[in-house]
Amino acid sequence: MMLKVVRIGRSRQMGVVRSWIYESTGRLLSILEQVEGEAVIPRERFEYAGYTPQAQAFNLAGKCVRHDDTAGSLATDSISLNGIPLSVTRTLPDGAAHTTRTTTDATGRVTSTTDAAGNMQRVEYDVAGLLKGSWLKLKDRQEQVIVKSLSYSAAGQKLHEEDGNGVVTTREYEPGTQRLIGIKTERLASHPAGRAILQDLRYEYDPVGNVLMVRNNAEETRFWRNQKVVPENIYRYDSLYQLVCASGREMANTGQYHHRLPPVTPFDNAAYVNYTRRYSYDNAGNLTQIRHAAQNNNHTTSITVSDSSNRAVLSTLANKPSQVDTLFTAGGLQKMLLSGQSLSWTTRGELAKVGDSETYVYDSEHQRVMKCSDSQQVVYLPGLELRTTGNEKLQVICIGEAGRAQVRALHWTSGQAR
């Protein structure tokens, strides 16, 4: 017996009818979509494993083993006893298949991941289940240490981290609030490059937790063109805790280029100037203006807010509130980012196309799987990006369990690094 559940209504941007098809046991079989005035299109299809010995050997009995969606097909080849997928294959619309394999410990925590290109990430945990170390092994290469060691406070916050390159990061917290008040990153005297403090950030907060000041004690106070330039950022808020003023430093030759690429800018570590940014809001809390003031770099960004909603665009697109809503779909999706740069959306509210140059493909979880342009194609896989530009093929390995900051390894399989 087949059941059909139909939900009729308008999606966020257009009239769409979605149908969910179930079998008698309640398992979802397919999802259909029909845009108003168009034919019905199958968007997703689900296939389940039987209760054969082979399916049971891989813990697949009764599980969804194939999910066809808007980005191709996702096949699950094996599942752990904890329900964690151990082998997953993403097949793209062009037929290319990419398999990601995972191993777990007895508690279900992931201990290693081998991406579709054969690169392996490995992690270890302490007795509390917190990250203790991580490693990366590129295909046919030696394993490299990413995070060598980590220590934590009684509250589970990181106190000390040593990375594989010998850089050490320590953190301090307020005892009463557990707010972060300091991060210091340095090379120790035993490092081959010698001792150096790379960054020493100190934080100050107001009673409710808003950041008031961030100071980098690793940088020196500089003087340039009769200005005293202190390596700190200061933030001020109004009674509604809206940011109204931010000040700091910027390079003296920094300019405003909007959407255009900036020209080649010579780096001068001593040529810094102070800047101040002031923010204005309307009575509803919508940002309406940003004023930037610095030596030889003063500019204002104005934002026009609709008079019938809180939708807003740059004033270069619409200078009257009555014009704003015409730049959005009925569901609030913006039609134009900049002048001459149109935005197109899928029936599920995902960005599908920017102008005539870039298109995007998403899976059933609204995660981007592909980006295509006239000059480049990018495939997004678990822990891996495959970038193809002309004759150049680049793998970007994204290490998610890498301590304070995410580590990205660049590996060229053909072409040269540029």
DSSP 261: P
| CA–CA distance, 346 with 378 (Å, rounded to integer) | 19
315-362 tens-digit pLDDT: 999 999 999 999 998 888 999 988 888 999 998 889 999 887 889 999
Which amino acid does the sequence have at 385?
Answer: E
Residue carrying structure tokens 């307020």: 174
* Mean pLDDT confidence for 96-109: 95
Provide the mean pLDDT of the chain: 90
Distance, CA of 256 to chain centre: 25
352-379 tens-digit pLDDT: 998 878 899 999 999 999 999 988 999 9
pLDDT at 16: 84
- The pTM of the full predicted model, rounded to 2 decimals, is 0.87
pLDDT band at 17 (very low <50, low <70, confident <90, very high): confident
pLDDT at 251: 87
Work out the burial of residue 4: count CB atoms within 10 Å of its CB; fewer than 13 is exposed, 13-18 middle, 19 or more buried. exposed
| CA–CA distance, 139 with 10 (Å, rounded to integer) | 48
Share of the chain above pLDDT 90, in %: 75
Q: Comparing 247-256, 297-306, 345-354, which segment has the lowest mean pLDDT? A: 247-256
CB 197 within 8 A of CB 186: yes
* Mean pLDDT confidence for 135-144: 94
180-239 tens-digit pLDDT: 999 999 999 989 999 999 999 999 999 999 999 999 999 999 888 888 999 999 999 999
Encode 223-253: b = buried (16+ Cβ within 10 Å), e = exposed. ebeeeebbbbbbbebeeeeebbebbbbbbbe
DSSP letter string over 78-137?
EE-TTS-EEEEEEE-TTS-EEEEEEEE-TTS-EEEEE-TTS-EEEEEE-TTS-EEEEEEE
CB 344 within 8 A of CB 357: no
pLDDT at 399: 87
Helices (H) and strands (E) in the chain, counts: 2, 34
Residue 25 has pLDDT above 70, yes or no: yes
Strand order in the sheet with 336-338: 336-338, 341-345, 351-354, 358-362, 368-373, 377-381, 384-389, 392-399, 407-414
Cα 299 to Cα 105, 234, 250: the distances in Å are 55, 20, 14
* Residue whose C-alpha is closest to residue 418's, from 385, 392, 388, 384: 392
Domain boundaries, the chain: 219-318
CB 265 within 8 A of CB 271: no
